[in-house]
Amino acid sequence: MAKIKKDDLVQVISGKDRGKQGKVLRVLPKEERVLVEGVNRVTKHVRAGQGPDGSTEGGLVVQEATMHISNVAVVDPETEKPPRVGYRFEEVEEDGETKTVKVRFAKASGKEL
């Protein structure tokens, strides 16, 4: 199970963009990959007229590429650093019923992420 979810703030811990932070745009759990905003940008050559209406302009396009999930870590919003992440089960009462909910937290501070 991936500890990283869509819209999380993550930091790259290895690779050419090491140290950069960005928001997760997409998580691909089967491939164990994530797409992070502004990180791992690659240049692609695009041929003219490849769009559905044939109006796509050709040339070089710079876009984000996916990276392996092990190369990023969730950032704690308070400290701006990547802590270890753990899970705990909490009892939550909704509509008069008690539910057990899995909550993600930073192991160092114990606060929810």
pLDDT tens for each residue of 45-102: 988 876 666 667 788 889 999 999 999 999 988 888 888 888 899 998 988 899 999 8
* Interatomic CA distance for residues 27 and 91, integer angstroms: 28
Average pLDDT over residues 22-31: 94
Which residue has better confidence, 30 or 50?
30
- Residues facing residue 93 across a β-bridge: 98
pLDDT for 46 equals 84
pLDDT for 50 equals 62
Distances (CA, A) of 59 to 2, 11, 44, 45: 36, 31, 8, 6
Q: Grade residue 38 by pLDDT with cuts at 50, 70 and 90.
A: very high
Amino acid, single-letter form, for residue 10: V
* Interatomic CA distance for residues 92 and 66, integer angstroms: 36
pLDDT for 48 equals 82
Asked if 39 contacts 22 with a C-beta cutoff of 8 angstroms, the reply is yes
